[in-house]
Chain A
Amino acid sequence: MSEPFLRIEKIVKTFKNNTVIHGVDMAFDKGEFISFLGPSGCGKTTILRMIAGFERPTTGSIVVDGKDITDLPPNQRNFGMVFQAYALFPNMNVFDNVAFGLKIAGRSREQIAARVDEMLKLIGLSGFEKRYPFELSGGQQQRVALARALAPSPRMLLLDEPLSALDAKIRVSLRDEIRAVQRALGITTIFVTHDQEEALSMSDRICVLNAGRIEQIGTPFEIYNFPKTRFVASFVGTLNILNAKVADAATGRLLIEGQEIVTARGTNGRATGDALAVALRPEALSLGRANGGSNNLDGTIDEVHFLGAVVRIRVRFKDSAISLDTFNRPHAAPPERGQPITVNFGREDILVLEGPAH
């Protein structure tokens, strides 16, 4: 097995007496696109800043290509970084901004001109060389910032919420562009975001963080479909989380508010009688009673929201509720509030979460 390109080893970060990162440990392969996903204050930017060299870990180390870079200043790491606030140099035009790192590296005038031209072509801004940052739109500024970061051929690209300041339409197009450029160059990239859609659509792997700890690392498919913890289940997507009790650990029988269901995924190490939390994806749920190996839960319609193409229905059990989406059918009226209903789902669709039930 080959050595990972970047290793973060048990890093802890404490500001005064406040520990914000609690022993994070992870490894990145060369050419990977990894997203740090989590809510504000979860520590994702702090980890990125430690990788960049702007913050020093209180304990632990950061190793790149087998070399410990924990104490190496940022200007000697040869990393590229794109910031949320663009951070283009206002006194320089597009050419000089992109050329900045190349000039610092002592490249010749011809090399600089050729590389800047190449980078501007890559981001689709050829002909913008003489423009100043204030003459560019937000999306264009961020593309210039990307070209500037990539121009000196860095070992790794760090993206600190680069799309957060842009409007929705540009975000979508720019995230596709960033991913295309990353793939074309094969550069190892760490992307910090609080937007699950961005993380799911762009990443090879996602690292979900909460309160300075890693909750789960996995591919977007794994993170979305098989969340391990209640936090991941609630943060990524719109999972329904229900408290349950293990009726029989051997056969995977669970009790939800007195109703029995069966999971085909096991009880995640829980013994008979233990409480646990299970998650159900809205798209795995259907209305009506199903036979032959499916689970059924009886409840009453609590809310019906007509959203056009989709009708969102909330079904209430005794103390809890779940939401599911059904397609709008013009010739069939949606169910009414208070109507008794059965929700069915497969045994494979039950995700047993780690951690205690709430």
Chain B
Amino acid sequence: MKTSRLWAWIVFALGALYFIIPLLATFEFSLRIRRDGYTFDAYASVFSDPKFHQTFGYSIVVGICTIVVGILVIVPAAYYVRLKMPALRPIIEFISLLPLIIPAIILVYGYIRLYSSSSWLPLTNSAMGTNILLTLGYVALAMPYMYRAVDTGLRTIDVQTLTEAASILGASQTTIILRVILPNIVVAVLSGAFLTLAIVIGEFTIASLLNRPAFGPYMQNIGANRAYEPAALAVISFLITWAAMGAIQLLARFAPKTAKP
């Protein structure tokens, strides 16, 4: 028993070191902008750059739009599949995985072909149109995470009985989703939302090829032209991701508890 526990700790320590050492190295490197010692100048330089604020703010707004559209599309879809067409679940799961299989570059070239100036819906002709296209691209990109999160949430409640209970009390389908289903899977939806945000913040390919002022292309640009600032940016984006994960854990405490049998 003790030996197996020791081995478990050894494996855990090795795994932790595998992740922590590169992070610490990056952090340490980001502090070495001056020869005379450690300093946070690289971070100060990043934070004082107006383009940082601009691109970060842009990506946050696009991220929020992506989350809203994602929830509006995926929650009802996952709910109806679970309620009315459970036989379709494997097909829907496969479709939701496609963005992991098809590279983002193929997706964005497809978008450009379909929605360029010569198409029937020339979204790329305007900045707003391109923003919409970028958001929709991100919804597709985040779909594997959002769908899985929502589906996991739905698995924790008795969707059919709750739907029937609300329905016989006079509730419409929209009311059922908004007042019964969504509040009971809110933690799952939020975890999907934070994962979406983390993906959107760091995404480069679609934003770059659609020529949008997003955080991903900004990071790439800094990485190509500076030495220490990219390391600082990497640490910052890790901190943002961790903050998002921490928020998921925190919100999980407020999840509605299921009834005792």
A-B pairs with beta carbons under 8 A, tally: 87
| Residue of A whose beta carbon sits closest to that of B184 | A91
| In the assembled complex, B172 has its CB within 8 A of some CB on chain A | yes
Also in contact, A141 and B167, with CB within 8 A (given A85-B158, A91-B184): no
Of the residues A89, A134, A158, contact of B166 by C-beta under 8 Å: A89
Measured as residues with beta carbon below 8 angstroms from the partner, the interface class of chain B is 20 to 34
Residues of chain B within 8 A (CB-CB) of A39 are none
| Residue of A whose beta carbon sits closest to that of B156 | A90
Of the residues A77, A81, A91, A145, contact of B164 by C-beta under 8 Å: A81
| In the assembled complex, B175 has its CB within 8 A of some CB on chain A | yes
Residues of chain B within 8 A (CB-CB) of A105 are 170
In the complex, A53→B168 CA distance in Å? 8
Chain B positions 206-225 with a Cβ under 8 Å from a chain A Cβ: none
Rounded to whole Å, the gap between the CB of B110 and the closest CB of chain A is: 39
| In the assembled complex, A136 has its CB within 8 A of some CB on chain B | yes
CB distance A80 to B260 under 8 Å? no
Rounded to whole Å, the gap between the CB of B258 and the closest CB of chain A is: 5
| In the assembled complex, A266 has its CB within 8 A of some CB on chain B | no
Also in contact, A54 and B164, with CB within 8 A (given A85-B158, A88-B259, A89-B184): yes
Cβ contacts A66-77/B at 8 Å (1 or 0 each): 000000011111
Chain B positions 149-169 with a Cβ under 8 Å from a chain A Cβ: 157-158, 161-162, 164-169
CB distance B168 to A141 under 8 Å? no
CB distance B158 to A101 under 8 Å? no
Residues of chain A within 8 A (CB-CB) of B183 are 91
Also in contact, A165 and B261, with CB within 8 A (given A54-B164, A91-B256): yes
Rounded to whole Å, the gap between the CB of B161 and the closest CB of chain A is: 4
Also in contact, A152 and B170, with CB within 8 A (given A90-B257, A141-B259): yes
CB distance A75 to B259 under 8 Å? no
In the complex, A152→B164 CA distance in Å? 16
Rounded to whole Å, the gap between the CB of B194 and the closest CB of chain A is: 20
Rounded to whole Å, the gap between the CB of A167 and the closest CB of chain B is: 11
Of the residues A77, A81, A136, A152, contact of B165 by C-beta under 8 Å: A81
| In the assembled complex, B171 has its CB within 8 A of some CB on chain A | yes
Also in contact, A152 and B161, with CB within 8 A (given A86-B259, A138-B261): no
| In the assembled complex, A353 has its CB within 8 A of some CB on chain B | no
Also in contact, A148 and B169, with CB within 8 A (given A86-B259, A91-B256, A138-B260): yes
| In the assembled complex, B46 has its CB within 8 A of some CB on chain A | no
In the complex, A205→B25 CA distance in Å? 80
Of the residues B158, B165, B257, B260, contact of A137 by C-beta under 8 Å: B260
Also in contact, A101 and B259, with CB within 8 A (given A87-B162, A90-B157): no
Rounded to whole Å, the gap between the CB of B257 and the closest CB of chain A is: 4
| Residue of B whose beta carbon sits closest to that of A137 | B260
CB distance A81 to B166 under 8 Å? no
| Residue of A whose beta carbon sits closest to that of B258 | A90
| In the assembled complex, B64 has its CB within 8 A of some CB on chain A | no
In the complex, A78→B171 CA distance in Å? 11
| In the assembled complex, A52 has its CB within 8 A of some CB on chain B | yes
Which of A53, A79, A101 has most chain B Cβ within 10 Å? Answer: A101
CB distance B169 to A104 under 8 Å? yes
| In the assembled complex, B180 has its CB within 8 A of some CB on chain A | yes
Interface residues of B, Cβ cutoff 8 Å to A: 157-158, 161-162, 164-172, 175, 180, 183-184, 256-261
22 residue pairs A–B, Cβ–Cβ below 8 Å: A53-B167, A53-B168, A74-B164, A74-B167, A75-B171, A75-B172, A83-B165, A87-B161, A89-B180, A90-B184, A90-B257, A104-B170, A104-B171, A133-B259, A133-B260, A134-B258, A136-B259, A136-B260, A145-B165, A148-B165, A152-B170, A158-B168
